[in-house]
Structure 1
Amino acid sequence: MSLRRFRSPFADRPTGRNAVRLASLSVMLLLAACAGKKSADEMVSHMASADTLYNNGIDALRSQRYALAAAEFEVLQQNYPYSGYTANAQLMEGYADYLQDKYPDAVQQLDRFLELHPTSPDAAYAFYLRALCYYEQVADVQRDQQGTIEAMNALEEVITRFPQSPYARDAQLKVDLCRDHLAGKEMLVGRFYQQQRNYEAAVNRYQRVIQDFQTTNHVPEALERLVEVYLDLGLTEQARRSASVLSFNYPGSKWYRYSYNMLRSEHLLAANMPAPTSSQHDGGTPARRGFFSRAWHAVF
């Protein structure tokens, strides 16, 4: 799942860097560049002051040297645990790990920051960045979706804790995408059971999509699949009811056209069942808001 990198709120803060870096740091960086064998941590001057380490870390982030940035912030925390830069260094190391796709490391660093600074003005950002780490790891629908659930929970925590923050709206959009992802997984499993003629299991999966993921794009197909299964089972009344809910909420969708044509070919159309409309309404939002849940429970 692609995601544009979220810009750190610290990236443009004034660094107040000294005019000249420590000579020892410059020499070490030059030797490391020439040798090409030293790790990022080896490139950091452990003798530098806290503000120098922090400013060097910010410079490294700006130049996309994320491993070096993380090393600078880590050395700062180890050598100056009570510095005024330490809290920001914890957060920025998490950000540097995130930019390297080191999501477990980033989460660990962000958890540490939140544990030590729960009332920080940057807590909202830390919770959001932590949620993004889980979101980036959402797996394809053919794989286990525990990661999707964890991402959704982390995103919902952002919304609950910081509803007025600039991160809440984006978190809500990603929650919706997670829910659509989970519904897609249910549909994948349901179609497999249907192909295997395990109709009871298929019905359970489709009904879960309809009941638990009503705002997703998968609901129209779930209703149409129920029509197919009920017809295979000879349950004509249930097939009509599923088609009726589909016609009321998604009258222009291709899934209603499929259901309508199936019932018509079997001479099972209800007298009050309308023909499909010409409009294209294939999305996941019911054509008549607020009615869907009542209609579903009324007929089932």
Structure 2
Amino acid sequence: MRLINILLIAFLVAISGCSSNDEKPREDLSEQQIYSRAKEQLKNSNYSAAVSSLQLLESRYPFGPYAEQAQLELIYAHYKAYETEAAVEAASRFIRLHPSHPNVDYAYYMKGLSNFDAGKSIFDRFTSTDKTKRDPGAARQSFSDFSVLLARYPSSEYAPDARARMIYLRNLLARYEVNVANYYFQRQAFLAAANRGRYVVENFQQTPAVADALAVMTQAYMLLEMDQLAEDSFKVLTENYPDSPYIDKNGEFVALYTKKGAKPTWISYMTFGMFGRDEPKEFDSRPKNG
């Protein structure tokens, strides 16, 4: 059923794309007419056509009374058309050309929002993917964009949403580091895993991933036979996160890995690895959906 829905949406998107191509702005329209048409297209969610209209307006009337507002509208139209790279470019251009514009905070906000949604498509709303396992480059850039907005325009109407998104991004980036540590465990790169865990603890305090990062450090230092560091990490874990699933009822650490890799299940052990193989073990105490 989900596949059918996705195929249906793809068909509708293709149809809408064709219809938008039929709405190319006429060459004989005035500046006000082009702008009015673009606004109508935005109102009707015909974003690709709005992009064409706004680009025509800017090219034909670069110094007209609607030019600056059209540039702001163009950022939004690109964003709504899932053209996040183009939206970022349009926002950056507006900031460069109009640094003192009364609505330049909007351009900063849209730049951060476009990077926040970079890589997403209309299909993402119908599929569940772990965003913490994606390339974090756009997330880092979005965090930086929102930081600039808050530093320069702390009273902006967009500031509250930017702050909320920065909290989300910080949690996401911390979890990404733990995911990388899990990958290193599977490759038996224990020192690299320990360094990722330590990076989370030092740079992402008060994020949910810190508990797992401490477990990562404990496990990695144990395997590296750095007993004091392992003991110190586990002590911080037990004192701050006593309900961690990596602390058993006797107060001992629940190890996931040995020097030979993930600890085997008893079925795998009894059948010499022929049966009972689990998915790769991961330090991930997040509630499992479903």
CA shift in 2, pair 1:38/1:73, >3 Å: closer
Please identify, of 119-128 and 235-244, the stretch whose mean Cα deviation from structure 2 is larger.
235-244
What runs of 5+ residues in structure 2 fail to find an aligned partner?
1-14, 121-130, 255-284
After superposition, the C-alpha distances for 1:54-105 in whole angstroms (9 at most, x for unaligned) are 1111111111111121122122212222211111011101111110011122
Please identify, of 120-129 and 145-154, the stretch whose mean Cα deviation from structure 2 is larger.
145-154
1:104 aligns with 2:85: yes
**Match of residue 39, structure 1, among 21, 28, 31:** 21
**Match of residue 73, structure 2, among 75, 92, 102:** 92
What is the rounded CA distance, in whole Å, between the counterparts of 1:80 and 1:240 in structure 2? 69
1:216 aligns with 2:207: yes
Please identify, of 159-168 and 245-254, the stretch whose mean Cα deviation from structure 2 is larger.
245-254
What fraction of aligned residue pairs are identical, expressed as a percent?
28
Please identify, of 84-93 and 69-78, the stretch whose mean Cα deviation from structure 2 is larger.
69-78
What is the rounded CA distance, in whole Å, between the counterparts of 2:146 and 2:89 in structure 1? 17
What is the rounded CA distance, in whole Å, between the counterparts of 1:65 and 1:170 in structure 2? 26
How many positions carry a matched residue from both structures?
230
- Tell whether the 8 Å contact from 1:134 to 1:147 is kept in structure 2 after alignment: yes
- Tell whether the 8 Å contact from 1:148 to 1:182 is kept in structure 2 after alignment: yes
CA shift in 2, pair 1:261/1:85, >3 Å: same
CA shift in 2, pair 1:100/1:189, >3 Å: same
TM-score after normalising by structure 1: 0.69
1:5 aligned residue: none
**Match of residue 61, structure 2, among 61, 80, 83:** 80
**Match of residue 164, structure 2, among 173, 192, 198:** 173
2:219 aligned residue: 228
1:175, distance to aligned residue in structure 2 (A)? 1.8
CA shift in 2, pair 1:182/1:138, >3 Å: farther
What is the rounded CA distance, in whole Å, between the counterparts of 1:80 and 1:98 in structure 2? 23
- Tell whether the 8 Å contact from 1:98 to 1:106 is kept in structure 2 after alignment: yes
Q: Secondary structure at the match of 1:176?
A: helix
1:68-217 to 2 correspondences below 5 Å: 68-137=49-118, 140-217=131-208
CA shift in 2, pair 1:66/1:252, >3 Å: same
1:60 aligned residue: 41
What is the rounded CA distance, in whole Å, between the counterparts of 1:37 and 1:222 in structure 2? 51
Read off the aligned partner of 2:179 and give its amino acid letter.
Answer: L
TM-score after normalising by structure 2: 0.71
1:211, distance to aligned residue in structure 2 (A)? 0.7
Q: Secondary structure at the match of 2:208?
A: coil
1:143, distance to aligned residue in structure 2 (A)? 4.2
Q: Secondary structure at the match of 1:261?
A: coil
1:242 aligned residue: 233
What runs of 5+ residues in structure 1 fail to find an aligned partner?
1-32, 264-281, 284-300
What is the rounded CA distance, in whole Å, between the counterparts of 2:162 and 2:94 in structure 1? 20
1:158, distance to aligned residue in structure 2 (A)? 1.1
- Tell whether the 8 Å contact from 1:141 to 1:185 is kept in structure 2 after alignment: yes
After superposition, the C-alpha distances for 1:146-172 in whole angstroms (9 at most, x for unaligned) are 222212111111111111112122112
- Tell whether the 8 Å contact from 1:76 to 1:89 is kept in structure 2 after alignment: yes
Q: Secondary structure at the match of 2:65?
A: coil
What is the rounded CA distance, in whole Å, between the counterparts of 1:78 and 1:193 in structure 2? 52
1:144, distance to aligned residue in structure 2 (A)? 3.1
CA shift in 2, pair 1:260/1:233, >3 Å: farther
Q: Secondary structure at the match of 2:252?
A: helix
Read off the aligned partner of 2:189 and give its amino acid letter.
Answer: N
What is the rounded CA distance, in whole Å, between the counterparts of 2:117 and 2:178 in structure 1? 22
What is the rounded CA distance, in whole Å, between the counterparts of 2:148 and 2:162 in structure 1? 9
What is the rounded CA distance, in whole Å, between the counterparts of 1:145 and 1:253 in structure 2? 26
1:220, distance to aligned residue in structure 2 (A)? 0.4
1:226, distance to aligned residue in structure 2 (A)? 2.1
